[in-house]
Amino acid sequence: MKRSAGGEIAPTTRHYRSVSMDSFIGKLNFGNESPKLPPSPGQRTGLVSPGNGIDGSSSAFSLEFGNGEFSGPELKKIMANEKLAEIALSDPKRAKRILANRQSAARSKERKMRYISELEHKVQTLQTEATTLSAQLTLLQRDSAGLTNQNSELKFRLQSMEQQAKLRDALNEALTAEVQRLKLATAELSGDSHSSSCLIPQHSVNPLMFQHQHQQPPAASQQNIHHLQQQHQQQQQHQNGNANSNSDLKQ
CA distances from 86 to 62, 65, 98, 199 (A): 14, 10, 13, 159
What pLDDT score does 199 carry? 54
pLDDT of residue 228: 72
Q: What is the pLDDT of residue 197?
A: 60
Q: What residue spans define the domains of the chain?
A: 2-90, 120-191+206-250
- Residue by residue, pLDDT tens for the chain (251 residues) are 444 444 444 444 444 443 434 444 444 443 343 333 344 444 343 334 444 444 444 444 444 554 556 778 878 888 888 888 888 888 888 888 888 898 899 999 999 999 999 999 999 999 999 999 999 999 999 999 999 999 999 999 999 999 999 999 999 999 999 999 999 999 888 877 666 665 544 444 444 444 444 444 455 556 666 777 777 777 777 666 666 655 555 55
3-state secondary structure 136-156: HHHHHHHHHHHHHHHHHHHHH
* Res 4: pLDDT: 44
| pLDDT value, residue 219 | 52
pLDDT digits 0-9 by tens, 214-236: 444 455 556 666 777 777 777 77
pLDDT score recorded for residue 63 = 44
Q: Measure the CA angle with vertex 86, ends 34 and 3; round to 5°.
A: 30
Which residues, in sequence order, are CB contacts of 185 under 8 Å at separation 6+? 214, 215
Q: Which residues pair with 9 in a beta bridge?
A: 3
One-letter amino acid of 163:
Q
pTM of the model: 0.37
pLDDT value, residue 190: 84
pLDDT, residue 146, reads 93
Tell me how far CA of residue 155 lies from CA of 149, 150, 160, 240, in angstroms. Answer: 10, 9, 9, 15
